[in-house]
Amino acid sequence: MDYAVIMAGGTGKRLWPLSRQKRPKQVLKLLDGQTLLRRCFERLQPIFDLRNIIVLTNAEYADVVRENLAELPHNNVIAEPTVRDTAGAVGLAATILSKYDSEATIAVVTADQIIKPDEVIQQALRDGVTFVNHHPEKMITFGIQPTFASTSLGYIKCVDPRESPDCQNELYSVEAFKEKPDAATAKEYIDSGQYFWNSGMFVWKARTILANLAKYLPETKEPLAKIQVGWDGPNQQKVLLEWFLKLPKISIDYAVMEKAEDVHAIKLDCRWLDMGSFAALADIISSDKHNNIVVAGQSELLDCKNSIIVTEDKGHLIAAIGLENMVVAHSPDATLVCHIDQTAKIKELLELIERNIGDKYL
């Protein structure tokens, strides 16, 4: 059968104080009252049976994820006991699904991306699932048609586009995965026309990705085998906690995709955004006449320009005078005031808060 796995484990520290250790960015209601997780889930519903949509998240987020996706069966939210990056998460999902379905095909998507229009990613996912079902030894990734020479995103070098039966999109051969480049290299990538942004989304057979993990990251083999045996048994949580901790902390790109053979790509020519920072709001929310981005039920801005004002509290008034190039982010117990050019230091600020105050506000 065909399954979708939503990766929803990221904390989103760069969106503090809205995102917290127990309330990640995926469940912030910044999109007309909807969350990124809900938007992702709704994109998948026309393609996958509700019972075949799985969410992987941190144990601390499991309850809030279930609250946000109340119609999803309780056991379809899988809680990771600790953070082990995407290789561990992918391995866990494939291990569990292959226990019950040896021919499981898995589409892996992430909960913190904005993709428009929905039809582009939906058709691409259909094509990816169709291709993998016809070619079970192959793996699919999705490349985003770049719109500028980004230095903050990874790239995929894709060549030899060709048609495939029953697929509307062309299939590319993946020659290489490239990490975040410097400005000159990024421009070379764009000018060549052979590079797409790395979306971090995939389609593969559960048994194929497990075989590749065993080949390229052999230290995952025993922990995943132990988890599979213990899953759905009386000691499921005990076994999961013991063996999941033994998985290497590494991304699936580093662990497998950069080394694997038979990797193909589908190009997504769409509006795409990895919602990782306050600055990203400028790409999804229209600014006012003074170039302010405002996400608030009530606000009054006097002589303010080029600033970002954010709160989820519809009853809270944010009033400001003379702000320029500033970020103001309000939550019930903490407020961030920061120059736009200094938002990269939010993680450093959180370390300072933890050292001096503790984890109450984290």
- DSSP line for 133-146: HH-TT-EEEEEE--
**2 or 26, higher pLDDT:** 2
Q: How confident is the model at residue 85 (pLDDT cuts 50, 70, 90)?
A: confident
Segment holding 68, helix H or strand E: helix 62-68
Residue 338 or 9, more confident: 338
DSSP 4-32: EEEE-----GGGTTTSBTTB-GGG---BT
Beta-sheet pairing, 263-268 with 139-144: parallel
The yes-or-no verdict on residue 305 having pLDDT over 90 is yes
pLDDT in tens, 201-246: 999 999 999 999 999 999 999 999 999 999 999 999 999 999 999 9
C-beta of residue 271 within 8 angstroms of C-beta of residue 113:
no
pLDDT at position 264, please? Answer: 97
pLDDT (tens digit, 9 = 90+) per residue, 314-360? 788 999 999 999 999 998 889 999 998 888 889 899 999 999 998 88
Helix (H, G, I), strand (E, B) or coil at 267: strand
Element (H, E) at 310: strand 308-311
Q: How confident is the model at residue 175 (pLDDT cuts 50, 70, 90)?
A: very high
SS3 state of residue 304: coil
Overall average pLDDT of the 175-203 stretch: 92
What domains can be seen in the chain, in order of their start residue?
Answer: 2-274 (3.90.550.10), 278-356 (no CATH)
- pLDDT tens sequence across 61-83: 899 899 999 999 999 999 999 88
pTM here? 0.86
Tell me what the mean pLDDT of segment 269-284 comes to. 77
Cα–Cα distances in angstroms (integers) from residue 206 to residues 167, 210, 224, 298, 325, in the given order:
21, 6, 12, 48, 47
Confidence of residue 55 (pLDDT cuts 50, 70, 90): very high
Query: Could you tell me if residue 303 is left (phi over 0), alpha (psi between -120 and 50 degrees) or otherwise beta?
Result: left
Nearest Cα to Cα of residue 325 among 344, 312, 338: 338
Q: From the CB of residue 131, how many other CB atoms can be counted at a distance below 10 Å?
A: 22
The percentage of the chain sitting over the pLDDT mark of 70, rounded to a whole number, equals: 98
| Residue 162: band (very low, low, confident or very high) from pLDDT cuts 50, 70, 90 | very high
The answer to whether 24 and 59 are in contact (CB under 8 A) is: no
First to last CA, the chain: 40
Backbone angles phi, psi at 343, to 5 degrees: -65, -25
Mean pLDDT of the chain: 91
Q: What is the pLDDT at residue 285?
A: 77
Is residue 125 within 8 A of residue 285, CB to CB? The reply is: no
Structure tokens belonging to residue 283? 């790409």
d(CA 309, CA 298) in angstroms, rounded, equals 11
Q: How far apart are CA 115 and CA 121, in angstroms?
A: 7
